[in-house]
Amino acid sequence: MAASELIEEDEVRIPVEANVTSLNAPAHTRPQRVANGNPTRHALTLSPPADDHDGTNRSERSGLCSLVLIQSLNRKLKRRCEYEKICAKEEHTDRLPNEWWKTGVAFLYALFNLVFTTVVITIVHERVPDKSVSPPLPDKFFDYVDRVPWAFTVTETNGLILVGLWLIQWLFLKHKAIVGRRCFFLIGTLYMYRCVTMYITTLPVPGKHMVCAPKLYNDSKGKIWRILRLISGGGLSLTSSHLMCGDFLYSGHTVMLTLSYLFIKEYSPRWMWWYHWFCWALSISGVICILVGHEHYSVDVVVAYFVTTRTFWWYHTMANTHELREAPNNYLSRVWWNPVFNFLEKNVQTTVPVVFLSPRALLSSCKERYHTIGIERDE
Amino acid sequence: MKKVEAWSAEDVSDWLNKEGMPEYIKVLHQTDGPALLSLTKADFTVPPLSRMSPDGGEQLLERIEILQMETHIEDHKNGHANGHIGGIPNGTSKLQRNGTLGRKDFETKIRIPIPTVEPPRSSFPTEWGKTGIAFIYAIICFVTTTVVISVVHERVPPKEHTPPLPDKFFDLFDRREWAFSICEINGMLLVGLWLIQWILLKHRSIIGRRFFFIVGTLYLYRCITMYITTLPVPGMHFKCSPKLLGNWEAQMRRIMKMIAGGGLSITGSHSMCGDYLYSGHTVMLTLTFLFIKEYSPRRFWYYHWFCLALSAFGIFCILLAHDHYTVDVVVAYFITTRLFWWYHTMANQQSLKETSQSNLLSRVWWYRLFQYFEENVNGTVPRNYQLPLSARAFHWNHAVKYSRLDIQ
Residue numbers in A near B225 (CB within 8 A) = 299, 302-303
A residues 34-63 closer than 8 Å to B (CB) = 60
With an 8 Å Cβ cutoff, are B348 and A299 in contact?
no
Give the pLDDT mean for B329-347. Answer: 93
Looking at the predicted structure, is the pLDDT value of residue A5 above 70? no
Active site residues of B: 281, 324, 328
The alpha helices in A14-96, defined as continuous H runs, are: 19-27, 31-36, 39-45, 51-61, 66-83, 88-95
B residues 19-78 closer than 8 Å to A (CB) = 20-23, 26, 51-52, 54-55
Mean pLDDT lowest among A86-95, B96-105, B206-215, B302-311: B96-105
A residues 198-217 closer than 8 Å to B (CB) = 199-204
Query: Is A310 in the B-facing interface, judged by CB distances under 8 Å?
Result: yes
Give the pLDDT mean for B351-357. Answer: 83
Is residue A296 annotated as part of the catalytic site, yes or no?
yes
Q: CB pairs under 8 A, 24+ apart, for B401-408?
A: B401/B119, B404/B114, B404/B116
Query: Shortest CB distance from A323 goes to which of B26, B167, B349?
Result: B349
Q: What confidence tier does A311 reach under pLDDT thresholds 50, 70, 90?
A: very high
Count residue pairs from A and B with Cβ separation < 8 A: 148
B residues 127-186 closer than 8 Å to A (CB) = 155-157, 161-163, 165-169
- If we measure between CA atoms, which residue out of B320, B318, B323, B324 comes closest to residue B285? B318
Residue numbers in A near B51 (CB within 8 A) = 14-15
Residues 6+ away with beta carbon under 8 Å from B75: none
Q: What is the pLDDT of residue A78?
A: 64
- If we measure between CA atoms, which residue out of A259, A253, A260, A113 comes closest to residue A196? A113
Residues 6+ away with beta carbon under 8 Å from A77: none
With an 8 Å Cβ cutoff, are B345 and A324 in contact?
yes
Query: Is B404 in the A-facing interface, judged by CB distances under 8 Å?
Result: no
- If we measure between CA atoms, which residue out of B234, B209, B223 comes closest to residue B324? B234
- If we measure between CA atoms, which residue out of B304, B387, B292, B384 comes closest to residue B340? B292
Cα of first residue to Cα of last residue in chain B, in angstroms, is 34
- If we measure between CA atoms, which residue out of B144, B332, B301 comes closest to residue A306? B332
- If we measure between CA atoms, which residue out of B279, B275, B272 comes closest to residue B254? B272
Question: pTM for the full model?
Answer: 0.71
With an 8 Å Cβ cutoff, are B54 and A133 in contact?
no
Q: Give the type of residue at A87.
A: C
ipTM rounded to 2 decimals: 0.72
Q: By CB neighbour count within 10 A (0-12 exposed, 13-18 middle, 19+ buried), where does B168 fall?
A: middle
With an 8 Å Cβ cutoff, are B228 and A202 in contact?
no
Angle at A302 between CA A351 and CA A249, to 5 degrees: 105
- pLDDT averaged over every residue in chain A: 79
Q: What is the pLDDT of residue B343?
A: 93
State how far the alpha carbon of A143 is from the alpha carbons of A107, A207, A305, B274, B275, in Å: 41, 12, 21, 17, 19
How much of chain B, in percent, has pLDDT values that exceed 70?
85
Query: Shortest CB distance from B169 goes to which of A200, A300, A312?
Result: A200
- If we measure between CA atoms, which residue out of B380, B381, B287 comes closest to residue B332? B287
| Better-predicted residue by pLDDT, A35 or B61 | B61
Q: What is the pLDDT of residue A81?
A: 59
- Provide DSSP, B173-215: S---TTHHHHHHHHHHHHHHHHHHHHHHBTTHHHHHHHHHHHH
Which tens digits make up the pLDDT trace of B81-93? Answer: 444 444 444 444 4
**Exposure on the CB side of residue A358, measured as CA atoms within 13 A:** 2
Phi, psi of A173 (to 5 degrees): -75, 150
Mean pLDDT lowest among A248-252, A282-286, B186-190, B279-283: A248-252
Q: A7, A52, A134, A201: best mutation site toward chain B, by most B Cβ within 10 Å?
A: A201
Q: What is the pLDDT of residue A51?
A: 44
Looking at the predicted structure, is the pLDDT value of residue A194 above 90? yes
| Better-predicted residue by pLDDT, B227 or B50 | B227
Which tens digits make up the pLDDT trace of B184-242? Answer: 999 999 999 999 999 998 888 999 999 999 999 999 999 999 999 988 888 888 888 88
Residue numbers in A near B224 (CB within 8 A) = 302
Separation CA A10–CA A77 (nearest Å): 9
- If we measure between CA atoms, which residue out of B10, B14, B20, B121 comes closest to residue B62? B20
Query: Shortest CB distance from B330 goes to which of A68, A200, A302?
Result: A200
| Better-predicted residue by pLDDT, A261 or B120 | A261
Looking at the predicted structure, is the pLDDT value of residue A20 above 60? no
